[in-house]
């Protein structure tokens, strides 16, 4: 049938280059060959592992061979790196840490999006990667082989591989929010996420709630993560253009009093100057004092607070809550 379709399209099949591969979830599945002698072809024997674009596919799509291949490759690289130094001479531990993070981790986690998603069996794959990273931590710190894996990783400054995978997977999901509207992935997402792309027949929007509960797929994880994004940001809005901002229009009427401007002064002098500036703004009927501050907790959540004073009383109180921002970003948001 395939031969007839391609022949009608003007294409020729070279049977000696053909391959066959069976995908199945069954235990101890049969792996039958395909006899093509009737159409002047060979007998195709299925392969147990199929390599395509650097990815290793097995019959059950659990990617154990894929992870094992790249973990073994990283171990070979680690053994070669030992000639660069040990705990007494050669590279410093910080240099070994940098070398491992830049040259080995990207190889070990190549294509992790294929097997690391919600509901997938990942225990065996993560165990394989943990052994590889333990060997790397021992090389970085020069510790004994019997040392605790978690302790050696902490001393070497390495994040546990399962947490590192979660971090990279989260970044990977958020990256889909910035793909162009013509990207093929948009045709598989929900209606409110497909950016007006023509929907594929296997799109998530065509599934029932019961089917979505049973589905385990990276695309489903992407859709759920995109539903958590509430803020919309237009980087090309008019108010962001230089010359159109509030500070550009009224630069002669806005004065900033930042603590950084008073580094050479004592705390008492600094507070006195701020008090005088505050009183001057309150004396004028058109003067307004805006006081901002921020607070960032260790959990990553931040609070930006702004009080607007006029005629010696607070006219407006603004409070914004957010998460996963730096102290500088929270300070800028408050301003």
% of the chain surpassing 90 pLDDT: 25
Residue 262 has a pLDDT of 55
Residue 99 has pLDDT above 90, yes or no: yes
Q: How confident is the model at residue 265 (pLDDT cuts 50, 70, 90)?
A: low
Summarize the confidence of residues 259-283 as an average pLDDT.
Answer: 75
**How large is the average pLDDT for residues 68-85?**
92
For residue 264, the model assigns a pLDDT of 63
What mean pLDDT comes out for the span 137-152?
90
Q: Which pLDDT band, with edges at 50, 70 and 90, does 27 fall under?
A: confident
Q: What is the pLDDT of residues 40-52, one digit of tens each?
A: 778 888 888 889 8
- pLDDT of 236 over the 80 cut: no
Residue 140's H or E segment, with its range, is helix 123-141
Q: How confident is the model at residue 182 (pLDDT cuts 50, 70, 90)?
A: confident
Secondary structure in 3-state letters for 13-69: CCHHHCCCCCCCCCCCCCCCCEECHHHCCCEECCCCEEEECCEEEECCCCCHHHHHH
On the question of pLDDT at 145 being above 60, the answer is: yes
Structure tokens at 212: 């979505």
Top pLDDT among 288 and 238 is at 288
What is the residue-averaged pLDDT of the chain?
A: 84
Those residues with Cβ within 8 angstroms of residue 55's Cβ, 6 or more apart along the chain or in another chain: 66, 111, 114
- The secondary structure of residue 189, as a DSSP letter, is S
pTM: 0.64
What confidence category does residue 209 fall into, taking pLDDT thresholds of 50, 70 and 90?
confident
DSSP H or E segment with residue 295? strand 289-296
pLDDT at 291: 87
Q: How far apart are CA 181 and CA 195, in angstroms?
A: 5
- Distances in Å between the Cα of 48 and the Cα atoms of 13, 18, 73 are 23, 15, 20
> In terms of pLDDT, which residue wins out, 313 or 132?
132
Across 6-10, 152-156, 259-263, the highest mean pLDDT is recorded for 152-156
| Structure confidence by residue, pLDDT tens digits, 303-312 | 888 999 888 8
Strand partners, 310: 313
């Amino acid at each position: 049938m395939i031969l007839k379709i391609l022949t009608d399209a003007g294409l020729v099949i070279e049977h000696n280059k053909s391959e066959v591969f069976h995908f199945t979830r069954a235990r101890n599945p049969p792996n039958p060959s395909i006899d093509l002698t009737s159409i002047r072809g060979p007998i195709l024997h299925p392969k147990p592992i199929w390599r395509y674009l650097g990815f290793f596919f097995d019959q059950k799509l659990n990617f154990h061979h894929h992870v094992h291949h790249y973990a073994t490759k990283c171990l070979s690289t680690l053994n070669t790196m030992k000639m660069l130094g040990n705990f007494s001479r050669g590279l410093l531990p910080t240099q070994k840490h940098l070398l491992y993070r830049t040259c080995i981790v990207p190889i070990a986690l190549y294509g992790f999006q294929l097997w690391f998603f919600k509901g997938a069996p990942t225990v065996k794959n993560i165990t394989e990667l943990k052994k590889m990273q333990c060997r790397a931590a021992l090389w970085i710190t020069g510790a004994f082989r019997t040392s605790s894996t978690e302790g050696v990783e902490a001393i070497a400054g390495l994040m546990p591989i399962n947490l590192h995978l979660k971090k990279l997977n989260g970044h990977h999901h958020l990256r889909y929010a910035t793909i162009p509207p013509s990207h093929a992935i948009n045709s598989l997402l929900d209606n409110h996420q497909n950016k007006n792309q023509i929907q594929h027949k296997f799109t998530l929007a065509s599934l029932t709630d019961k089917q979505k509960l049973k589905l385990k797929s990276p695309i489903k994880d992407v859709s759920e993560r995109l539903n958590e994004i509430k803020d919309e940001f237009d980087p090309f809005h008019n108010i962001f253009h230089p010359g159109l901002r509030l500070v550009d229009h009224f630069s002669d009427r806005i004065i900033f009093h930042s603590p950084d401007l008073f580094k050479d002064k004592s705390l008492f002098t600094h507070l006195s100057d701020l008090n005088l500036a505050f009183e001057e703004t309150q004396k004028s009927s058109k003067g307004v004092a805006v006081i901002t501050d921020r607070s960032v907790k260790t959990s990553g959540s931040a609070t930006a607070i702004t009080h607007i004073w006029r005629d010696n009383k607070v006219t407006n109180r603004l409070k914004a809550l957010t998460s996963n921002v730096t102290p500088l970003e929270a300070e800028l948001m408050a301003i």
